[in-house]
Each structure stands twice: as C-alpha cells, then as structure tokens.
C-alpha cells in the first residue's frame, strides 16, 4: 500500500517537473534574429527625435516635475502605481554604467520589441514593449541614435515594489504567452496610406492603447475593446473611449482631432487635462502629417459604444 502510494507520488512529481519544464520552454525570453539589427547604417537623429516624442519617453523616464531641458535627462521617472504593485521607470540615459549608453543596438532593440533585457531577462510590461513590438528596425535604430545624444545621469532608479508572485520575472513569460503579439490590433480593409501610417504610429511607438484599452484581471487587453477606454490604471478617474463610438470624441472630425493633438484645445474650446497633457505636448512635436495620420486612423478604427 505504502509502496503504491509512493510510486503514485513519484509519478506526480515527474509529471509536475515535466509540466514546469514545458512552461519554461514555451515562455523563455525570445530575442529578435540578430540579422534584424545588422546593416542598418547610421541613425537618422532628426527622425529619432520625432520617435522620442511619439513614444513619450520623457513622460515616464524624466524626473517627476522636470521642465525644459531637464526633461531630456532620462534618469528615471515618477512611480507608476498599478494593481500589481508599483513600478519605477529606470534610468535610460546615455550613462555607460546605470543607463543604456553601453547597450548594443541589438540589446536595445530586443528590449523595445521583445521585452527582453540585456541579460536575457523578461522585462515587465509596464514598459510598453507590447506596442513597441510593431516598430521597424530602422525606427528603433533612429530612436537609439537620438537617445545616445541626450545627457548622461548616474542616478540609480529604485527597484520595483511588487509582491509575490508578481515579483517573479518568470511569471512575465506566462503573460507574454497569453497576450504578447506584434500583429495589428485591428484589421482595416483597403486602408489608405495615411490610415496605415496612423495605425503604425498609434499601435506602435505612440502606444495609445496602453492607456485607452480596458484590461482583464491579468493585465491583458480585452478582446474587441480596442481603444474603448476604461478605469485609469493608476486609480484616479477614467481613460476615455477614443473610437468613433465615443460619446466624447466620436463626433469630432479628423481635423478636430488633429487640432487637439497640436494645440491641446477641443472643438468646444476646452483644454486638455490629466495625464493627456503630457501626451499632447509630445504630439505637438510631431510633423503635421503624422498628426493628420493619427487622426485619420482614429476615425477608421471600429466603433465601440
């Protein structure tokens, strides 16, 4: 009897070990093919600056409350509170030791598009690589080239404050297995070149859906709710629906949206508020054609009531 019980327990242990091994294999960090980062040539710094603003890098990585040129010192930003704990944006300045100045383009690109750190570790999706995964290698190269021109800082950002099991990076592999994709968020049939450009900006570097799309209990986007708004992940107020089905901007024209992104004023002469203030300031730095493309895309996405 005891022998049978022990054999059964041993069998369960073997199955458990096999299952855990399979989990590790399926969820291991996956880097890009190194060929993706080869032969890209010199970075286009001016274009990298546009991507810097499109991606809102300073909004998370510049010190809280900084203004002017101080916002270009990316020494780590204000804490990001979430249901899973508090994340502290790291130093991504050009510092060779505590920043990303010593990273290779491949290491930077793998972090941006695969959520894999330089030591092969999973990065937490508080860093929106789930969106940046759609960026082209050339754009990643241009952005990294611009970041290397910014001031270095030796300030070390605090560690994330996460409880168990969220403090186990191995769990991020499971999250990626469930949710991570570089496929388009929506399929737009017969989209114009302008709409396709807007789709790239919104779904990729602009990462608009990271705030404007509701999430499930594990932090993944809810299917069929792209850009439909929802509770503010930081706990204060709500993030609006920005699809054509929205009660707030659904009636805006593409020109209204374009003007709002440039000036911060709504068609009713109200002004931008909340966390959108930072986003609008970044959008104002983009070429007018890119703001027009973003507006065209937002008018083309499926309406969610």
| pLDDT one-digit tens code per residue, 268-278 | 989 998 889 99
Q: Give the Cα separation of 182 and 195 in Å (integer).
A: 18
pLDDT of residue 237: 79
Mean of pLDDT values over 133-137: 98
Mean of pLDDT values over 47-69: 94
Q: What is the DSSP letter of 241?
A: P
User: 19 to each of 14, 91, 174, how far by Cα in Å?
Assistant: 9, 37, 13
Q: Is pLDDT above 70 for 36?
A: yes
Q: Give the Cα separation of 182 and 147 in Å (integer).
A: 24
Going by C-alpha positions, the residue among 206, 211, 217 that lies closest to residue 239 is 211
Predicted TM-score (pTM) above 0.85: yes
Pairing of β 80-82 and β 85-87? antiparallel
Q: Give the Cα separation of 72 and 53 in Å (integer).
A: 11
């Amino acid at each position: 009897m005891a022998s049978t019980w022990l054999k059964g327990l041993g069998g369960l242990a073997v199955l458990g070990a096999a299952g855990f091994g399979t989990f590790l294999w399926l969820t291991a960090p996956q880097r890009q093919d190194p060929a993706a980062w080869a032969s890209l040539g010199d970075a286009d710094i001016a274009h990298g600056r546009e991507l810097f603003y499109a991606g809102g890098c300073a909004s998370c990585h510049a010190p809280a409350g900084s203004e002017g040129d101080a916002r270009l010192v990316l020494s780590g930003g204000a804490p990001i509170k979430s249901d899973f704990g508090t994340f502290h944006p790291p130093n991504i300045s050009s510092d060779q030791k505590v920043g990303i100045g010593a990273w290779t383009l491949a290491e930077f690109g793998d972090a941006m598009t695969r959520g894999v750190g330089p030591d092969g570790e999973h990065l937490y999706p508080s860093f929106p690589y789930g969106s940046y995964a759609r960026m082209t290698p050339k754009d990643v190269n241009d952005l990294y080239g611009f970041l290397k021109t910014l001031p270095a800082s030796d300030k070390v950002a605090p560690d994330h404050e996460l409880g168990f099991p969220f403090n186990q990076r191995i769990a991020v592999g499971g999250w990626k297995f469930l949710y991570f994709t570089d496929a388009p968020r929506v399929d737009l049939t017969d989209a114009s070149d302008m709409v396709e450009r807007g789709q790239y900006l919104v779904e990729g570097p602009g990462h608009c859906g990271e705030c404007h799309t509701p999430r499930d209990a594990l932090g993944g986007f809810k299917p069929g709710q792209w850009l439909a708004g929802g509770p503010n992940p930081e706990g204060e107020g709500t993030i609006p629906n920005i699809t054509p089905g929205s009660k707030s901007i659904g009636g805006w024209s593409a020109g209204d949206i374009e003007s709002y992104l440039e000036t911060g004023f709504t068609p009713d002469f109200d002004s931008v508020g909340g966390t959108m203030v930072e986003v609008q300031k970044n959008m104002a730095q983009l070429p007018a054609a890119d703001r027009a493309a973003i507006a065209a895309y937002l008018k083309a996405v499926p309406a969610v009531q």
